């Protein structure tokens, strides 16, 4: 097989989770007393670390960003996390990976608690060897740090890391993996614009394309 271990993004790659995320963001902005961005603009928030987006997109200071995070997190865990759907073919792909010699780690900028809740709800948790995401306190949220932690956890399991690959839909996936010497396959069905694939070693338009690239 071409690869030996897989690191897999969640939002925009395994799950179409934008409805729950954007609804909870809109709720957060209303609670903060600021205008709610148009739906198309809110999609830019899906994938990157949320505290970065509160800073860079909403232009909140540190105190505002922390208050917004607290509001968002409570709402998301209550009602938003399960407002998602599995992308076509991804359940079957995860089952094929699980049945292969490949080891699989989640590598998401979403905190591990909601990520685990979502995977368990959609009966996908059983396919993963490792769950790696942002820390629940958001101290570890940059994709570079998430990928580094996923590699540490896979290595602790005895996984073969001679040829790992990242799979994701945003430039942060490509860049965060590259910072750790890991190549990325970019999936086109997610939330990233086409130019976000820059630096990826391959692109996949469907789960079937991805399966072929992984030689499963």
- Active site positions, annotated: 9
C-alpha span between 14 and 89 (Å, rounded): 9
Instruction: With beta carbons less than 8 A apart as the criterion, state whether 192 and 171 touch.
Output: yes
- 35 contact partners, CB below 8 Å, separation of at least 6: 29
């Amino acid at each position: 097989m071409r690869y030996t271990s897989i690191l897999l993004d969640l939002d925009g790659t395994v799950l179409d989770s934008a409805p729950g995320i954007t609804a909870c963001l809109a709720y957060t902005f209303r609670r903060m007393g600021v205008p709610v961005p148009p739906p198309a603009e809110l999609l830019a928030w899906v994938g990157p670390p949320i505290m970065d987006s509160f800073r860079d997109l909403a232009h909140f200071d540190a105190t505002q960003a922390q208050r917004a995070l607290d509001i968002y997190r409570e709402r998301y865990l209550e009602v938003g996390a399960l407002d998602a759907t599995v992308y076509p073919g991804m359940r079957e792909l995860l089952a094929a990976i699980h049945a292969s010699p490949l080891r699989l780690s989640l590598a998401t900028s979403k905190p591990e608690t909601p990520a685990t809740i979502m995977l368990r709800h959609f009966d996908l948790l059983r396919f993963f060897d490792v769950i790696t995401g942002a820390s629940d306190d958001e101290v570890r949220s940059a994709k570079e740090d998430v990928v580094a932690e996923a590699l540490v956890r896979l290595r602790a399991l005895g996984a073969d890391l001679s040829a790992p690959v990242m799979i994701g839909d945003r430039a942060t996936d490509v860049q965060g993996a590259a910072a750790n010497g890991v190549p990325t396959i970019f999936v086109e069905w997610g939330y990233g614009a086409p130019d976000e694939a820059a630096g990826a070693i391959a692109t996949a338009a469907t789960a079937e394309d991805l399966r072929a690239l992984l030689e499963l």
